[in-house]
């Protein structure tokens, strides 16, 4: 596996591969890999095939962190990440420094306001502007045939899909199912912030989503009642938790729904100790 830190070198390598007709697949990441990241790499390796190239970017993007967020504290372990990526058959690990990705006077942003202002965008108002900008840069550098993102960050995935569509970027955006621990907790680099007791209780978030899906399957259609039941469940099972948001939305437009009578996604963000945990579940497809 090659490690490339210079964006121009990475771009030349990737464009040469694409011009040669190779099947190239990118997994964008911020590192501190867990099993969820590794499953994305496995999917990239499989999708690229034995003759193609699987690429992973490892970049803790400063522009998607607000002033009071955890950029400095975000977990990092480059040596471990390097070894894990290599063990999954990755061909190139792109790991630039921030100053290589952003000029000192950089002033260009990519935004998808219609999908970015609600949900996580309420408490993280600049987050998706940073995400859309850095992902567009990564896609233009790598120009992959496909890029794979986890569905745990469903809003992020929706933003990226809309951005790629609107800007006619020639890449297929692939959503990969959420990878969970055996007890249901969605894997996240921020799970390291949980204390042992918080970690024991955190799976109740997923349990509450499961109950919401079961309620819909039993005939419940009121989004208000489903969300209220989730809040009641969390208050009973994790009294210390604080709900940032819990909503039922359309999976593509992210528009809030009042009635679950068609495609519906329940999305939640919950503060638990030092961690802010997000999760989601399709209630109807």
Find out whether 52 is annotated in a ligand binding site: no
**Sign of the alpha-carbon torsion through 64, 67, 70, 76:** positive
Find out whether 123 is annotated in a ligand binding site: no
Question: Could you give the C-alpha distances from 135 to 80, 170, 211, 245, in angstroms and in order?
Answer: 24, 13, 34, 25
Find out whether 127 is annotated in a ligand binding site: no
Find out whether 49 is annotated in a ligand binding site: no
Find out whether 261 is annotated in a ligand binding site: no
Q: Is 37 a catalytic residue?
A: yes
Find out whether 107 is annotated in a ligand binding site: no
Q: Which of 37, 176, 206, 233 is an active site residue?
A: 37
**Upper half-sphere CA count for residue 118 (Cβ side, 13 Å):** 17
Task: Say if strands 264-272 and 275-284 run parallel, antiparallel, or are unpaired.
Answer: antiparallel
Find out whether 217 is annotated in a ligand binding site: no
Find out whether 151 is annotated in a ligand binding site: yes
Find out whether 37 is annotated in a ligand binding site: yes
Residue 148 β-bridge partners: 174
Find out whether 190 is annotated in a ligand binding site: yes
Could you give the CA distance from residue 120 to residue 97 in angstroms, rounded to a whole number?
26
Tokens matching residue 180:
């969970």
Contacts 24+ apart (CB under 8 A), 177-180: 177/151, 178/36, 178/150, 178/151, 178/152, 178/279, 178/280, 179/35, 179/36, 179/39, 179/150, 179/152, 180/206
Find out whether 139 is annotated in a ligand binding site: no
Q: Residues marked as binding for beta-alanine?
A: 64
Q: Residues marked as binding for (R)-pantoate?
A: 64, 156
Q: Residues marked as binding for ATP?
A: 30-37, 150-153, 179, 187-190
What amino acid positions are annotated as catalytic residues? 37
């Amino acid at each position: 596996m090659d490690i490339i830190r210079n964006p121009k070198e990475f771009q030349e390598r990737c464009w040469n591969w694409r011009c040669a007709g190779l099947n190239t697949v990118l997994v964008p990441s911020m590192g501190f890999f867990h099993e969820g990241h590794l499953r994305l790499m496995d999917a990239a390796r499989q999708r690229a095939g034995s003759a193609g190239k699987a690429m992973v970017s490892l970049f803790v993007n400063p522009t998607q962190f607000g002033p009071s967020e955890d950029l400095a504290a975000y977990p990092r372990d480059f040596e471990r990440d390097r070894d894990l990526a290599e063990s999954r058959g990755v061909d190139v690990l792109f790991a630039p420094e921030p100053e290589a990705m952003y000029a000192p006077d950089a002033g260009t942003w990519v935004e998808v306001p219609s999908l970015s202002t609600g949900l996580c965008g309420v408490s993280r108002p600049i987050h998706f502007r940073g995400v859309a900008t850095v992902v567009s840069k990564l896609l233009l550098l790598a120009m992959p045939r496909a890029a794979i993102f986890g569905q745990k960050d469903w809003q992020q995935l929706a933003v990226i899909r809309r951005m790629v569509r609107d800007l006619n970027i020639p890449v297929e955006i692939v959503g990969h199912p959420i990878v969970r621990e055996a007890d249901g907790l969605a894997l996240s680099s921020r799970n390291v912030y949980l204390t042992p007791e918080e970690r024991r209780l955190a799976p109740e978030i997923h349990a509450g989503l499961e109950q919401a899906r079961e309620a819909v399957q039993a005939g419940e259609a009121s989004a208000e009642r489903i969300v209220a039941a989730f809040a009641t469940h969390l208050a009973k099972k994790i009294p210390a938790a604080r709900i940032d948001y819990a909503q039922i939305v359309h999976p593509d437009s992210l528009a809030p729904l009042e009635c679950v009578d068609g495609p519906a996604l329940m999305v939640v963000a919950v503060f638990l100790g030092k961690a802010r945990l997000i999760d989601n579940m399709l209630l109807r497809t």
